[in-house]
Structure 1
C-alpha cells in the first residue's frame, strides 16, 4: 500500500474538514435561530452566534405546540421508532433462522415470497393496510403505528445471508450436545449476529423516526402525533406568522434521539457494515 505524503495528507484532511463544515453549517444556523428572538431572525443579517433565549425557546418548544406539547410528540416518535426497529429485527431474525436451519416443503418459495415484498413499499399497499388497521380498531394507537411496519424483507435477506456463512459444524456440535433449535438460536446465532443487529437497529430506528405518511394517515387524535408531523403543523397557513425560534428549537430536539442512537452504536454499526468476518 502506497502511503500518502505529508502534503497530500494535509490536503485530504482539509477537504474532509471543509465537507463537515459545509454539512454542519445549516444545523448550526438552526441552533442559532433557536436561541434568538423572532425579530433577530426576520431582520437581516441573521446572527451566526447563539443568543440569550435558549431556555425560553426550548421550554416553549417542549411544553407547547400547535395541538399538543412537543414532549408528547417526541415520546410518540420514540415509542414508534423503537417498536419498529425491535419488531423488524425480531421477526427478521426468526424468519431467516427458520429459512436457513429448518427443512420444510416450500422453503425457497416462502423466502422468495418474502423477498418479492421489497417491490411493495408502504406507499403502494397503504389503502388495504389502512383498511386492515381500521378493521382491527387500531387507529390512534401505538399498535397501529408499529405493527404494519415491522415486517422487513431487507432485514430477513441480510440475516439469511449471514446465517449461511455460519459453519454447519456449529449446528452439528449443538445438536450433539443436546441443544434444541431455539437454544442454538439464542446461545450461538444471536450473539454472532450482534454487529448485524446493531447496524440494522440504527438504520431501522431512523427509518421509524422519520415516518410521516403512515402516522399522518392513521392518527386523528393530536395526542398521537409524531414529532415529524408536529414540525409540519407548526408552519403557518395563510397570513399567519411562523414562530421560527420555536420551530427551530423543535427541529433541533427532533434530531437529538437519532444522533444519540448513531453515536452510542457507532462502533458496532461500522463493524456491522464493513467487517468481513461479522
Structure 2
C-alpha cells in the first residue's frame, strides 16, 4: 500500500518539473533563435522572447534552403528523410515479423543456427560493414536512390529477436484451435499473431522510425545528388559553413524535430490502446 505523504508528492512533482524544464529549455531557445534576425544572433546573446522574423526565416528555409551551403529547400529534405525513415521502418517490421514467425512455428533443419546467425549481427553495426555494403549498392546501381538509402538498413536482428520472444509466449492452444478451424499458416499469422503483436509493433515502429530519421553516415556516402539530401545532412552542411546562418539552421532544426515528435505522440496512443484493450 502506498502512503499518501503530501511532502513526498510535492518533492516528486518538483523533481519532475525541473527535469522537464532542463529538457524543454534548449528546445525553446532553438525556437526563439529561429525567429530572430541574423544580426541579433551575432551579438552573442539570445533573448528569451521570440523575435519578429519567424515567418520569414521558416518560409525561406522551407522554399529556398541555403544555397551557399549546398542545402536544398527544407521541404525536399524533410520528404527525403520521411521516405527513407518509413521505408526502413516498414521493411524492418515486415522482415522481422516473418523471420520470427518462421523461426518459432516452422520446424526445419538448422533453424536455431540461422536464428543465432541473425542474432550475432547485432555485433556488426553499419560502420563495420559499410565498405562492402557500399560496394554492393554501387554494383546494383542504387546510388542516389531511395532504394539505396533504405534497403541496406531494413534488416533488424533486434526486432526479430523481440518478435520471436513474444511469439513464444503465445499459447499453443491458439495454434491448435486455428488448425482445427482449417486456418493455414499465413491466416494464423494474419488473424491471430498480428493483432496480438500491436503493442510490440507500435513500440518498435517508434524506435525504428527515429533510427531511420536520424541516419547521417549512410546517406552521406551514397548520395551526391542534392535531390536526395536528407534533413540531417542539410543541417550538418549549414553548420559547416564558414559563417553559418544560425537563424536558418535553427529553423531547420525545429522542422526536423517535428516529424519524430508527431510519430511518438501518435504511436503512443496506439501503444497505450493496445496495452489496455481487453479484447485482442
When normalised by structure 2's length, the TM-score is 0.94
1:246 aligned partner: 248
Match of 1:41 in 2: 41
Distance 1:8 1:185 in 2: 48
- The equivalent of 2:159 in structure 1 is 155
The CA distance in 2 between the partners of 1:154 and 1:274, in whole Å, is: 25
Give the equivalent residue in structure 1 for 2:7: 7
Q: Give the secondary-structure state (helix, strand or coil) at the position aligned to 1:234.
A: helix
TM-aligned CA deviation for residue 222 of structure 1: 1.1
1:25-47 Cα shifts (integer Å, max 9, x gaps) = 11100000000111111214321
Question: Following the alignment from structure 2 to structure 1, what is the Cα–Cα distance between the partners of residues 250 and 271?
Answer: 29
Q: Is the 8 A contact 1:82 1:205 kept in 2?
A: yes
Cα deviation per residue 1:60-100 (whole Å; 9 max; x = unaligned)? 11112233111101000000000001100000000000000
Is 1:183 matched with 2:187?
Answer: yes
Q: What residue ranges of structure 1 are gaps of 5+ in the alignment?
A: none
Query: Is the 8 Å Cα contact of residues 199 and 273 (structure 1) preserved in structure 2?
Result: no
Distance change in 2, residues 1:273/1:258 (3 Å): farther
Aligned residues: 274
Would the aligned equivalents of 1:140 and 1:218 in 2 still touch at CA under 8 Å? yes
Q: Relative to 1, partners in 2 of residues 1:204 and 1:273: Cα closer, same or farther, differing over 3 Å? A: farther
Deviations 1:151-189 (A, max 9, x none): 000000000000000000000110111001000000000
CA distance in 2 between counterparts of 1:145 and 1:185 reads 30
1:265 maps to: 267
Counting only pairs closer than 5 Å after superposition, residues 216-235 of structure 1 correspond to structure 2 as 216-235=220-239
The question of whether the paired residues in 2 share the 8 Å contact of 1:196 and 1:273 is answered with no
Q: Is the 8 A contact 1:196 1:272 kept in 2?
A: no
1:79 has 2:55 as partner: no
TM-score normalised according to structure 1 size: 0.95
Which residue number in structure 2 is paired with residue 32 of structure 1? 32
Q: What runs of 5+ residues in structure 2 fail to find an aligned partner?
A: none
1:199–1:270 Cα contact (<8 Å) kept: no
Aligned pair in 2 of structure 1 residues 273, 209: CA closer, same or farther (>3 Å)? farther
Cα shift at 1:271:
7.4
**Structure 1 residue runs of 4 or more that deviate by more than 3 Å after TM superposition:** 267-275
SS state at 2:234 partner: helix
TM-aligned CA deviation for residue 235 of structure 1: 1.7
